[in-house]
């Protein structure tokens, strides 16, 4: 299973806990990064949410990030991590 990551997912070593087998620079075409998600998870408050990066479809867009490969048997764990943390940018 391949996962596309950008932002903090490129450098915080989250993938080490999920038996990552490969890591490489990746381009996601047809999307761009944009601050269009209001969040109180790790940043902001209920009264003043913080804008965070998400991916938005854009025909001419390109987002540079990292591709992470995981063994198929870790698929559930990796997806559970993405939902638990509210991490955007996962594209399994």
Please state the domain extents for the chain.
Answer: 2-81
Question: Are the C-beta atoms of residues 88 and 38 closer than 8 Å to each other?
Answer: no
Pick the residue with more confidence: 35 or 87?
35
Residue by residue, DSSP assigns 33-78 as EEEEEEE-SSS--SSS-EEEEEEEEEEEEEEEEEEEE--GGGHHHH
Q: What pTM did the predictor assign? A: 0.74
Q: What is the mean pLDDT of the chain?
A: 84
Residues 31-75: pLDDT tens digits? 998 877 777 766 777 788 777 778 889 999 999 999 999 999 999
Q: Are strands 2-5 and 22-39 parallel, antiparallel or unpaired?
A: unpaired
């Amino acid at each position: 299973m391949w996962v596309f990551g950008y932002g903090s997912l490129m450098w915080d070593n989250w993938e080490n806990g999920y038996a990552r087998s490969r890591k490489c620079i990746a381009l996601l075409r047809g999307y761009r990064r944009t601050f269009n998600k209001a969040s109180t998870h790790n940043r902001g408050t209920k009264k003043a949410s913080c804008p965070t990066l998400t991916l938005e479809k854009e025909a001419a867009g390109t987002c540079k990030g990292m591709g992470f490969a995981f063994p198929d048997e870790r698929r559930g764990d990796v997806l559970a991590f993405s939902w638990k943390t509210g991490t955007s940018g996962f594209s399994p």
